[in-house]
Amino acid sequence: MKHTIIRNDEIRSGVFRMEFDFADIPMPGQFVMINCGGNTLLKRPLSICDFEKDKMTVVYEVRGKGTYNLSKMKISDEIDVTGPHGHGFDIFDKFNNILVVGGGIGIPPLLYLSKKLKSKNINIVLGFRSDAFLIDEFSKYGNVLVTTEDGSYGMKGYVTDAMKEIINEVDIIYGCGPKPMLNAIKDISEKYKIPCQISVEERMGCGIGACMTCACKTVAEDGYHYKKVCKDGPVFWAKEVVF
């Protein structure tokens, strides 16, 4: 379906925030598939960063041809978007002390999640190599701690360093970011016996469960299974995922 771009701004070097009209209400953690134009045949998956009354926001980093084409699109241009796709984060009434942990370009879906969790006690830890983004937006929904690897903003170090300061108060952890970070969060959740959901990334072909491009190794009672990140995920219980 065609959707009209309302905004497409560079919010940090190489990172863009795009808004377009969109009617279907998504769940936090779901994603959309966007036709980026030019000769990019396959649609590209992007997480839903925000949704408000017929308006969707995605935040993306320019990585290759698709996201480069996207960055050149202007207000009033039309894009072909499908979704919302996938299984997002589960929200539980029984958990009140929430820890949200994001790294780099993995943080966008956690903004919409934090918004949906707004009545809870939320600590949000965001980690970046250097330049941070979306901090003010996250601050509306919880107590935000920022870490940077070079110490240019917030605490110097990794998200896992900041997590140690609050982990004893936590009922559930939600995470999204690079694989080594997710693996470290998984280890912490197991050590402290805290339930943990993570959003996993794999390259995608179809986005709807038809091609197996996005297979991810998961633990099963009889050994291992491959699940589809696009359909069974992208959000899984951390204990399921084999890194």
Among 12, 65, 116, 231, binds ligand FAD (CB under 6 A): 65
Among 11, 24, 52, 64, binds ligand FAD (CB under 6 A): 64
Here the tokens at position 240 are 């399921």
Beta carbons of 174 and 122 less than 8 angstroms apart: no
Neighbours of 135 (CB within 10 A): 15
Q: Measured from the CB of residue 215, what is the shortest distance to ligand FES in angstroms? A: 8
Q: Work out whether 63 is an interface residue with ligand FAD (CB under 6 A).
A: yes
- Is 114 or 194 the residue whose CB approaches ligand FAD more closely? 114
Q: Measured from the CB of residue 139, what is the shortest distance to ligand FAD in angstroms? A: 20
Site string for ligand FES, 208-227 (x = CB under 6 A): -xxxxxx-------------
- Is 166 or 205 the residue whose CB approaches ligand FAD more closely? 205
Q: Measured from the CB of residue 85, what is the shortest distance to ligand FES in angstroms? A: 9
Subset of 150-209 contacting ligand FES (CB under 6 A): 204-207, 209
- Is 1 or 212 the residue whose CB approaches ligand FES more closely? 212
Pick one of ligand FAD, ligand FES, none as the site partner of residue 61 (Cβ within 5 to 8 A by kind). Answer: ligand FAD
Tell me how far apart the alpha carbons of residues 136 and 144 are, in angstroms, rounded to a whole number. 9
Pick one of ligand FAD, ligand FES, none as the site partner of residue 46 (Cβ within 5 to 8 A by kind). Answer: ligand FAD
Binding site for ligand FAD (CB under 6 A): 31, 40, 44-47, 58-61, 63-67, 105, 108, 201-204, 234
Binding site for ligand FES (CB under 6 A): 204-207, 209-214, 228, 230
